[in-house]
Structure 1
Amino acid sequence: MSISRKVLLFFSIIYLILCMTIIFIVRQYMYNEVLENTSKKAQILIERTVAVHEYVAKELRPAVNEKLSELDVDKDYFDPRWMSAGYISRNINKYYSNRDTGYIDYSYKMFSINARAAESEADPYEREIIAEFKANPSESVKEEVREIEGEKFFVVYKKNVNFTEGCMKCHTEPEKAPAGLIDFYGDKNGFHREVGDISAILSIRIPISSHIQATNMVSMKLSGILLLLFLVSLIVQFVFMRKSVIKPIKELSILMKEITADNQRIGESVKIYKGKELGMLSDSFNHMSLSLKEMTTDLQVKVDERTLELSKLNAKLEQRVKNETESRVEAERKLVYQKRFADIGQVFQSVSHQWRQPINTLGIIFYDLQKTFDDGEIDKKYISEYVENCNTLTEHMNITINDFMSYFNNKAEMKEFNPLEYILSVVRLMKSNLISNNINLKMIYIDDEKPYEYELDNLLGGVELKNAVLCGFEGRFKQIIMNLLQNSVYALDKQAEENSEAKKEMKIILSKEEDSYLVTLSDTGGGVPDTIIDRIFEPYFTTKAKDEGTGIGLNMVKNIVEDSFNGDIKVYNQDLGACFVIKLPMANKECC
């Protein structure tokens, strides 16, 4: 909704409220004036009637009675025309109300219960009025607006004088009353009164329906005049608002939009409109436009300078990131080579240790063969026996060197292989470390819930391996087993340094689980602290001394398991040490 409509709507609501308030106040005021004027007129009439009653009671009746006594008139004589105050006041008001004076229209009634005159008998509503006056002796006047037969009247009730001792002659018992009174009114009504009783209630009833209608008519005329003035003022206000306020604001708004929409026009000025407020608005916009122009120019210079600085800084950061990345890659490559050379050293040390015994045995055989030849005791059977022993020793050495060459074969060829065979190959390479550290290793293969156990001596002496097939890179599988076995040997050695009686046991379990093999490697090396167990697969994280570990071994294991075998590896602590569980998928038709 536009501002002009909001303003018009606001003032329309305010004006309507004011008009309704004025009309209501005027109407209520005129209504109250009608009641007040009518009340004054009624009071005059009723007070005049009371004056008549007082005159009859105090002046006329005593004078008449005195004159009758002087004339020796019969005591039973009674003439209401000068002896009854009620009769006199009733007829005076009748004559007065019948006069066409144009001043006031009213009706008079003096009523009571068991009234002497039938026309003065109180109806049910008037009986309630009498009861109210009796209940409230201090009240003498009551005013009200009463609707009778569809017409509204303003009614004033005035309590008449109470019965006195002088009234009792005509109002106690019929026998005491003058015979003329009995002949005129009868002996039924108006008797059995007591001193102090209310003689009657005087009432003046003035119709006010016509006055109220006149008041409503004046209110309607006033409403029409105010409504007409409202429409005229609304039209004038609308025209004035559109010409003097809305139109200039729209023009100013359009110019502002055009200038602010085009950066090239920032700094332009608009014309100064007439009127204090519009002039201030247009002047403020011109000032703002010039300020924005200056700020924009200054900001553009700063943006260009900052952009140049950021470009230079970005180029430096890119070069630094590139250098850091190359350095990190080189460092990781060196660490991998360092780890691999360390593995070569350990494996070569194990191989040399395993070759030392066969070489010594061959030396003894050659020495014995030379001695036997010198003694002339060589025969075919002797030669065959020594040849067989030499072949056994060289076969053992050939197996060892094949294991060594297979472990460091870098040709990444994916194929099916028996994991038991390659676990055995790594164990043979680790033989010297295991034996020299007095570590007891056991391997268990569970096929269809039937376990096959292999002790270290059996593995080294040659066993029949059960059929198990994995698909992947056999050299990387050996790296997994070698790293985990080396970590276990390290943990067992460290624990033995602290507790010489600690058990030094390792266990490798190969089992099936649906379409996967589980390789479980556990030891009794004390386990991994709970505070760091979630971080041991992170790169460069190690608990070893700087000269003992690089922190990439377990990270390499995790990467090989997940990337090369699409498997999963987890670690947890058990009673005496750590347990690594590797889940590898079985070979399928799409493997090779």
Structure 2
Amino acid sequence: MFKNLKLKQKFTMILLVILIVGLSFCGLSLSLILRQNAEREIASTGLLLMETMTSVRQYTNEQIKPELNEQLEREFLPQVIPAYSATEVFNNLRSKEKYGQYFYKEATLNPTNPRDKADDFETEIVEKFRNNTKLKEWQGFRSEPAVDMFYIARPLQITEPSCLECHDTPERAPKTQIKNYGPVGGFGWKLNEIVGAQIISVPASAVIQKANQYSFLIVGIVSIVFVAIILLVNLLLNRQIVRPLKRITRVAEEVSTGHMDVDFEQLSNDEIGNLAKAFKRMKLSLEMAMRRLKRPPGNTNTGNPSNYGNSGNSGNYGNSGY
């Protein structure tokens, strides 16, 4: 089938195959690269949010809690708890469309508020930080029944002695805290101990969707450029190769039928031009050969054979004196 195609069709088919193979390879490579870029971009946003929550915790611990310590003896105010403040601020942020898909949790092994209790997966992350205190960040994907999640986590370490006022022993904790949460959870913490992890997560589909958006855009641009190249190559091929070859073919067909008044035009010095030049020489050689064939036989006069008899009279031999 390929042998029966014209030159232009063959080139077009080859270029289309290159386009398909190139786009397939480009698509796979871009998908991987752009997914990594999307992960970094989402992780960067997550880290920014995490830094914001850390600042909220610090502000609550240093500015809010000292002002309300006396009131805690009469009424428990969850707003003085850094974890509560950070979680509430983040929930307010989630009302914004930009952050609507993000989730924040201070997953703690032994929390005061049961909602902060680390599940099995989160416990593994906390244990990673506890076993390797040099590890400051961890990220990856988590499979859940409803949806896969991309997460980024940082250790939650007790660095302020004031935190132990509520988390050392039940005796030191405010009575209103014991009244609200009981004397069991959230006690026994130590200074510089890693008690949990700040975890920000987002559906993995958000990462994939973001990567796909970039992939479709780039592949679309590459496709348009490649199609334009194919059209340009076809145009140049038609002008520089196909048309000159058609002219040479047409002239050769006319010469083959005896029309010697046509001529092969050499319009360039490339291979096509050299081909036309060779055909032109062949035509000249053919014309010379045809003229020789049409020329009448040459008159090569070597004398009349009867003249040989007149070179002497036979009767004279008798008079020679012999």
Q: Same fold (TM over 0.5)?
A: yes
- CA-CA distance at 1:146 after TM superposition: 4.0
Secondary structure of the 2:194 match is coil
Q: Within 2, Cα distance between the matches of 1:182 and 1:126?
A: 26
**RMSD value over aligned CA atoms?**
4.1
Q: 1:56 aligns with which of 46, 54, 60?
A: 60
**Which amino acid letter does the alignment assign opposite residue 12 of structure 2?**
L
Q: How far has the Cα of 1:91 moved from its partner?
A: 2.2
Write out aligned runs for 1:262-273 (5 A): 270-273=263-266
Q: Which residue of 188, 194, 204 corresponds with 1:192?
A: 188
In structure 2, the partner of 1:45 is: 49
SS in 1 for 2:176: helix
Q: Is the 8 A contact 1:268 1:290 kept in 2?
A: no
TM-score normalized by structure 2?
A: 0.68
**How far 1:53 sits from its partner (Å)?**
1.8
- Cα distance in 1 for residues equivalent to 2:54 and 2:33: 31
| CA distance 1:62–1:220, shift in 2 (3 Å) | closer
Is contact 2:107-2:197 (8 Å) kept?
A: yes
CA distance in 2, matches of 1:275, 1:31: 51
SS in 2 for 1:201: strand
Question: Partner letter of residue 283 of structure 1?
Answer: K
1:12 paired with 2:22, answer no
Amino acid at match of 1:271: F
Look up the match of 2:248.
252
Aligned pair in 2 of structure 1 residues 197, 254: CA closer, same or farther (>3 Å)?
same
Check conservation: 1:38, 1:154, Cα contact below 8 A: no
Aligned length in residues: 284
Equivalent residue in structure 2 for 1:280, among 270, 274, 283: 274
Checking the alignment, whether the CA contact within 8 Å between 1:269 and 1:289 is kept in structure 2 is no
Q: Is the 8 A contact 1:172 1:193 kept in 2?
A: yes
Which secondary structure state, in structure 2, belongs to the residue aligned with residue 108 of structure 1? strand
| In structure 2, C-alpha distance between the alignment counterparts of 1:203 and 1:120, rounded to whole Å | 11
Instruction: Note the C-alpha offset of 1:126.
Output: 0.6
CA contact (8 A) 1:163 1:199 kept: no
Hey, what does 2:123 align to over in structure 1? Answer: 127
What residue is the counterpart of 1:91 in the other structure? Answer: 88
Correspondence list, 1:166-315, <5 A: 166-207=162-203, 209-210=205-206, 212-213=208-209, 215-217=211-213, 219-220=215-216, 223=219, 227=223, 234=230, 237-238=233-234, 241-242=237-238, 244-253=240-249, 270-277=263-270, 278-287=272-281
Q: SS state of the match for residue 192, structure 2?
A: coil
1:341-356 equivalences under 5 Å are none
Tell me the equivalent position of 2:135.
Answer: 139
Percentage of pairs with the same residue:
19
Greater relative contact order, per chain length (Cα 8 Å cut-off, separation 6+): 2
C-alpha displacement of 1:64 = 4.1
Shift of 1:45: 1.5
**Distance change (3 Å), C-alpha of 1:165 and 1:78:** farther
Q: Distance in 1 between matches of 2:276 and 2:210?
A: 56
Q: Distance in 2 between matches of 1:38 and 1:119?
A: 25
Supply the distance in 1 between the matched residues of 2:26 and 2:181 (Cα, whole angstroms): 57
**1:193–1:228 Cα change, 3 Å:** closer
Distance 1:273 1:33, change over 3 A: same
Q: Please say if residues 251 and 262 of structure 2, whose CA atoms lie closer than 8 Å, have aligned partners that are also in contact.
A: no
Where does structure 1 lack aligned partners over 5 or more consecutive residues?
296-592
**C-alpha contact 2:110 2:117 (8 A) present in aligned 1:** yes
Given the superposition, is the C-alpha separation of residues 218 and 157 from structure 1 closer, same or farther in structure 2, using an over 3 Å criterion?
closer
| Alignment pair present for 1:104 and 2:99 | yes
> Once the two structures are superposed, what CA deviation does each residue of 1:513-570 show, in whole Å capped at 9, x if it has no partner?
xxxxxxxxxxxxxxxxxxxxxxxxxxxxxxxxxxxxxxxxxxxxxxxxxxxxxxxxxx
- Contact 1:141–1:156 under 8 Å retained in 2: yes
Deviation at 1:198, TM superposition (A): 0.9
1:12/1:94 Cα in 2 relative to 1: closer, same or farther (>3 Å)? Answer: closer
Distance 2:220 2:68 in 1: 64
Higher mean displacement: 282-291 or 128-137: 282-291
Larger radius of gyration: 1
8 A Cα contact 2:169 2:188, kept in partner:
yes
Q: Distance in 2 between matches of 1:210 and 1:82?
A: 32
Residues 93/241 of structure 1: CA separation in 2 closer, same or farther (3 Å cut): closer
The change in CA–CA distance for 1:167 and 1:237 in structure 2 (over 3 A counts) is: closer
The answer to whether the 8 A contact 1:112-1:199 is kept is yes
